[in-house]
Amino acid sequence: MSDQGQHQPPSQPPPLSGEVLPKPDGQPIPQQHQPPAPAAPPSGPTVIYVPIPVTVDGRPIDPPAPAKPTATARTTATAVTLLVAMLGACGAGCLGGALGLFALFGQNHLDQVALLAGVAAFQAAGTLAVGIWATRRTSWAFSAVLLAPWLAGWAALIIWYWLRFPLWYIPWLTLGTLPLAVLSAWFWRNRRQRTARQAIVYLAALAIVLAANAAGVLNIAWDRTDAFGFRGQPTPEEAFSALTAASCVSDLDYHYGGGRVVRAECTSDYQGEYDKKTFDNTLCSEQPRAAFARWWQWNKEYQLDFSLGFTIERYSDMRNDPATLTVVMRLRAAFHPGEEEPYRIHVDKAEERWKVSAERALAGGWKICRVDIESPLNATFEKL
């Protein structure tokens, strides 16, 4: 037994994977029957994600969507928003009306009081309604964008308190810039999903809104400046009335201009001053200036204010160009406000007859081109 153990061949280690083993007869295994070489191990850890579907009775289902507010909840929210906006409008309207009645305009300009109350109520209602709606549906950034036009309206109302421009400019500013805010909020809110078509629509809409507002501003400027000085008054009589009011020696200092009734800018500093801008815009030549120059000189030299009355004796025929009218000028008063008058005026007569000629302006309307005085009065001044 021991001899057989000594002559038993030693055991060999198992072949490595992929090693070609000989056939029993000692022939090698053909190449096509060789086992594949092992794959190289990955350089790092491999993570395999296996989705776990949510199923009901073996069928996958989607995760539930967030619950939408019911119709009752939406109706309640809308009603609360409108109620708050109405209460705010009532409070702001009452405050604006009280401010206009007791501090700004008084009972003589109730139309301006009502307009101020309406503008304040409009601003308050819009600010509250848009603010509540925007904060419930969008982020704070886009809420600020939507509220920007209303805040600009409040800023304009504060500026109006000092400058007193027409009140309807304020709601126009708000409504004119509101489309810009809405378009900007719509376009920039979904900036990750917007397309080239949306960008074109956004830019085109912005251009339309800006053009409409620019046209409105230009129209107001055209009207307020009487076509930048190229348009005259509607009739020759109104042109002469504007000329006398701007002279600052007439007993009436209100005239029609810029689409509204305005007051001439006159001072009482005895420097022979007058409303030069309005006076020049009413003329189509320098000749009529001489009819008023003597009164300006006497105001400066003798420290007297004059009050001249003008009565149209014969109206013009606007079918003719130039149109003529006959005016009677009457010296009503010459005085120096204060305790003592430095001079006293003496005239040989208190009336003059003026022949006024008006022509059509370039952009329509009438302007004064000539004033002829048939028999000027003679004045002397006595020092007191």
Q: For 276-324, what is each residue's pLDDT tens digit? A: 999 999 999 999 999 999 999 999 999 889 999 999 888 877 777 788 9
Is residue 87 within 8 A of residue 129, CB to CB? The reply is no
Is residue 295 within 8 A of residue 306, CB to CB? The reply is yes
Q: What are phi and psi of 185, to 5 degrees?
A: -65, -40
Task: Name the nearest CA neighbour of 235 among 358, 329, 91.
Answer: 358
Q: For 141-158, what is each residue's pLDDT tens digit? A: 778 888 899 999 999 988
In the chain, the amino acid numbered 101 is L
Beta bridge partners of 312: 327
> Helix, strand or coil for residue 250?
strand
Handedness of CA 131, 135, 136, 137 (dihedral sign): positive
Q: Which part of the chain has CATH 3.10.450?
A: 228-383
Ramachandran bin of 382, using left for φ above 0, alpha for ψ from -120 to 50, beta for the remaining angles: beta
Q: What is the pTM of this model?
A: 0.59
Q: For 207-266, what is each residue's pLDDT tens digit? A: 998 898 888 888 888 888 888 888 888 889 999 999 999 999 998 888 887 777 888 888
Q: Kindly provide the b/e burial profile for residues 332-366, where b requires at least 16 CB atoms within 10 angstroms of the residue's own CB.
A: eebebeeeebebebeeeeeebebebbbbbbeeebb
- Domain 228-383 in CATH 3.40.50? The answer is no
Task: Name the nearest CA neighbour of 167 among 209, 230, 122, 213.
Answer: 122
Instruction: Count other Cβ atoms within 10 Å, centred on residue 89.
Output: 22
